[in-house]
Amino acid sequence: MYQYDSYDQAMVDTRVEEFRDQTRRRLEGKLTEAQFTPMRLKNGLYLQLHAYMLRVAVPYGTLNSRQMHALADIADKYDRGYGHFTTRQNIQYNWIKLEEAPDLLADLAKVEMHAIQTSGNCIRNISSDHFAGAAADELVDPRPYAELLRQWSSFHPEFNALPRKFKIAVIASDTDRAAMRLHDIGIQIVKNDAGELGTAFYVGGGMGRTPMIAPCIRDFVPLDQLVSYSEACLRVYNRYGRRDNKYKARIKILVHELGAEEYTRQVEEEFAHLLDQGIEPPIAELERIRTCFADPAFGDGARSVDRSDPDFALWVDRNTVRHKHDAYVSAVISLKPVGGIPGDASAAQMHLMAELAKEYSFDELRVMHTQNIVLPHVKIADLHALWTRLDADGLGAPNLDTIEDIIACPGLDYCSLANARSIPVAQKISERFAANGKTEALGELKLKISGCINACGHHHAGHIGILGVDRKGIENYQLLLGGSEAEDCSLGKITGPGFSEDGIVDAVETAADVYLRERAKGERFLDTYRRIGIEPFKEALYG
């Protein structure tokens, strides 16, 4: 993985000092809250319902064990012993004191981490495929490109006050595990007919109150023009993105209002101009970064497991994923125990995951946007030992991509923007399906819950989505069906009138039952929905 040199270290150290100074001026009353807000936001510090929340960047979701140990220590020292992994592959702490935030950032900087640009109207932490460097189907490891863009976008002087936040994802396989087309910019590493690597740019996707799937605006940008092209996309947005209405300020609205063709024309014009400005790092810089991501020393070993323990066999089937090396798999540690809070991990669990990464996965971990943790490179021969230790500490839930593997935003339990609670709904649904035993039969079923229209829980992109709304002061939940964030990207449709908190749990089960009744052989929930449409579901729900 990437290692800081003295320059990178100087940048994060400087940021800590800057924030210490800004915090001091705020506490001394020299800065108003209005002036301080964008500064703290650029350091990932939000004021929530009960306390400050700090969001720490995990660039493209990659961590080593030392960093995971440090995150656990921070949970103990500054929070209440927990961390919350998010849909942006980051980690959040919910109980932070402003006076202590600079010290927390200093602790992060010691392990090459930071909270730079994890919120605010700027280019956010860049996300990527959580199986990068391990996936059997990838063209190359996408992370060096994400790292190049991380550096380019950090403290970018021109894009200091964008109309709105800006999210970039980079992937390198046709299977999209990063919801690439639901980002402001989605970049896919591709090969052209001449066999050269380059990047396809998808611009103007997003969720929120107006979800949109990004159109491809260019199918090949050469690697030595990646920064210039990104800069052109951003400059057009910075100049012409709407600033009159916060809800229309994302780039998706600009691309939609101009039309993809006109937006592309303006980007191409700006790009042609920027190519002469000498802003592109040399390809040697990309190569330098790439050497940090060289494959670990994979060795040969067993290619199958002893399946005599059915619990272990189930976990292997559900939670391990094919690796580019036959003697290895990527193993997913579910942070979705039945009845638990999706994405939460205790300090002790984080320490354990760090130890296991060191022992079994070449010292690497990944945060998934589905709020789980991956050990990317586990020897098949080591799986039983790994599972035994995970299971002993409540981390062995065998539910990857099942209805129990729910994405949920923090909702009304923490978030000041929420209409409704998300976490208790997730807890009740996973309890319901664990009890009725339907999880296994349902197979792949992605369920996502947001506590308000801002869609942090990606409800539009769930096979089943749930959206919390406020109806006359009472929490109410709408049901959506048919969304997907993958390469077959689609947006879910609302079934009809909303449900109460208990009603929505019943409604999910009703929809699941329609699938079980109607499915053809080999169909997932999403496939059946696409074939039969929404009507049979509506009938069962409201009929």
Query: Which window, 152-160, 347-355, 373-381, 497-505, contacts other proteins (CB under 8 A)?
Result: 152-160
187 and 199 in contact (C-beta within 8 Å)? Answer: yes
What's the CA gap between 396 and 411, in Å, rounded?
26
**Binding of other proteins by 257 (CB under 8 A):** no
CB of 323: closest distance to ligand SF4 in angstroms? 33
Structure tokens at 480: 């959506």
- Considering the complex, state which of residue 255 and residue 455 has its C-beta at the smaller distance from ligand SF4: 455
Q: Which of residues 207-236 bind other proteins (CB under 8 A)?
A: 227, 235
Q: Which of residues 422-451 bind ligand SF4 (CB under 6 A)?
A: 450-451
153 and 86 in contact (C-beta within 8 Å)? Answer: no
- Considering the complex, state which of residue 288 and residue 358 has its C-beta at the smaller distance from other proteins: 288
CB of 231: closest distance to other proteins in angstroms? 8
- Considering the complex, state which of residue 176 and residue 231 has its C-beta at the smaller distance from other proteins: 231
User: Contacting other proteins (CB under 8 A), which of 33, 194, 245, 282?
Assistant: 282
**Binding of ligand SF4 by 457 (CB under 6 A):** yes
User: Contacting other proteins (CB under 8 A), which of 77, 80, 137, 161?
Assistant: 161
x/- map, 104-123, other proteins, by CB under 8 A: -----------------x--
User: Contacting other proteins (CB under 8 A), which of 80, 97, 143, 158?
Assistant: 158
Query: Which window, 5-13, 109-117, 283-291, 412-420, contacts ligand SF4 (CB under 6 A)?
Result: 412-420
3-state secondary structure of 341: coil
Q: How far is CA 293 from CA 2, 121, 140, 286, in A?
A: 7, 30, 10, 11
Query: CB-based contacts of 107: which residues, under 8 Å, 6+ apart?
Result: 70, 73, 74, 77
3-state secondary structure of 113: coil
Query: CB-based contacts of 476: which residues, under 8 Å, 6+ apart?
Result: 420, 468, 469, 470, 498, 499, 500
CB of 50: closest distance to ligand SF4 in angstroms? 14
Structure tokens at 227: 């920064």
What's the CA gap between 134 and 124, in Å, rounded?
25
User: Contacting ligand SF4 (CB under 6 A), which of 126, 373, 452, 526?
Assistant: 452
230 and 149 in contact (C-beta within 8 Å)? Answer: yes
**Which strands sit side by side in the sheet containing 45-47, from one edge to the other?**
45-47, 52-56, 91-96, 82-85, 344-346
Q: What does 33 bind: ligand SF4, other proteins, none (CB cut-off 5 to 8 Å by kind)?
A: none
3-state secondary structure of 439: helix
Residue type, position 305, single letter: V
- Considering the complex, state which of residue 165 and residue 369 has its C-beta at the smaller distance from other proteins: 165
- Considering the complex, state which of residue 35 and residue 192 has its C-beta at the smaller distance from other proteins: 35
486 and 175 in contact (C-beta within 8 Å)? Answer: yes
**Binding of other proteins by 175 (CB under 8 A):** no
Q: What does 279 bind: other proteins, ligand SF4, none (CB cut-off 5 to 8 Å by kind)?
A: other proteins
**Binding of other proteins by 5 (CB under 8 A):** yes
514 and 468 in contact (C-beta within 8 Å)? Answer: no
**Binding of other proteins by 77 (CB under 8 A):** no
CB of 134: closest distance to ligand SF4 in angstroms? 30
Structure tokens at 459: 């409800």
Q: How far is CA 365 from CA 84, 357, 400, in A?
A: 15, 6, 16
Output the CA torsion 217→62→191→234 (10° steps). 20
Q: Which of residues 10-69 bind other proteins (CB under 8 A)?
A: 10-11, 14, 17-18, 21-22, 25, 30, 35, 38-39
**Binding of other proteins by 4 (CB under 8 A):** no
User: Contacting other proteins (CB under 8 A), which of 194, 245, 277, 535?
Assistant: 277
**Binding of other proteins by 243 (CB under 8 A):** yes
Count of residues touching ligand SF4 (by CB under 6 A): 13
- Residue found under tokens 């040399």: 282
User: Contacting ligand SF4 (CB under 6 A), which of 163, 211, 410, 498?
Assistant: 410
**Binding of ligand SF4 by 90 (CB under 6 A):** no
Q: How wide is the angle at C-alpha 61 spanned by C-alphas 60 and 64, nearest 5°?
A: 115
CB of 38: closest distance to ligand SF4 in angstroms? 18
**Binding of other proteins by 310 (CB under 8 A):** no
315 and 396 in contact (C-beta within 8 Å)? Answer: yes
3-state secondary structure of 219: strand
Structure tokens at 541: 């729900």
74 and 152 in contact (C-beta within 8 Å)? Answer: no
Q: What does 18 bind: other proteins, ligand SF4, none (CB cut-off 5 to 8 Å by kind)?
A: other proteins
Query: CB-based contacts of 491: which residues, under 8 Å, 6+ apart?
Result: 211, 213, 460, 461, 482, 483
User: Binding residues for ligand SF4, per CB under 6 A?
Assistant: 409-411, 415, 417-418, 450-452, 454-457
User: Binding residues for other proteins, per CB under 8 A?
Assistant: 5, 7-8, 10-11, 14, 17-18, 21-22, 25, 30, 35, 38-39, 121, 151-152, 154-162, 227, 235, 238-239, 243, 273, 277-279, 281-282, 284-285, 288
